[in-house]
Amino acid sequence: MHEQIQNILLDRDGTVIEERHYLADPDGVQLIPGAGTALRALMDSGRRLFLVTNQSGIGRGYFSLAQYEAVQERLLQLLREEGVELTATVMCPHGPDDGCACRKPLPGLWQELRASHGLDPARTVMIGDKMADIRFARSAGLAAAALVLTGHGRHAAIDLGLPNQLAKAVALHPLTNPDHPDILAPDLDAVADLLLKT
């Protein structure tokens, strides 16, 4: 991360909000502790925030687009209460067998954001709780990928042979394994602390 990171791409479930299996009810939306203040600090530092989310529950028929939109509106309301405004949200509604180009880890959602907002991959980081988020960052050629240990993150860390409990964010050097993140952190708040120091 030689250039300052200006664009923060965020997974939704398990990264910004508590993981709920195929969340379809707005009443189930709950920010992960510290997420609101972390995003506010990043936004106040001049960085832009983008939500990048797979929502295969739509493609699988578990919930409708309208239900997704209601959940999304509740999330935006909670973020506004924290003084946070997202620049944009991009979403893949497809299932894993639908053959789309937009489901993470494929780079379709990145290409959409890059075209609409002129993002520079060298100044962009992806933060998520799954291997798909790390691989998405790699497929998009982003400056860095951060894995948080919230949501599915602990299981992902175990699968990667990485520590699954941390007190603060640590920078890794994933030269030997591209599936390893550049940053491993207990939560979004810890990633924000690290980014704000660079």
Catalytic center residues? 11, 13
Task: Find out whether 109 and 90 touch, Cβ atoms under 8 Å.
Answer: yes
- Distance between CA atoms of 172 and 137, rounded to whole angstroms? 15
Q: How far is CA 64 from each of CA 59, 67, 90, rounded to the nearest angstrom?
A: 9, 5, 16
Helix (H, G, I), strand (E, B) or coil at 42: helix
**Paired residues of 146 in beta bridges:** 127, 183
Q: Which of 164, 162, 154, 197 is nearest to 182 (CA)?
A: 162
Contacts of 101 (CB under 8 A, 6+ apart): 107, 108
Let me know if 175 is exposed, middle or buried by CB neighbors in 10 A (0-12, 13-18, 19+).
exposed
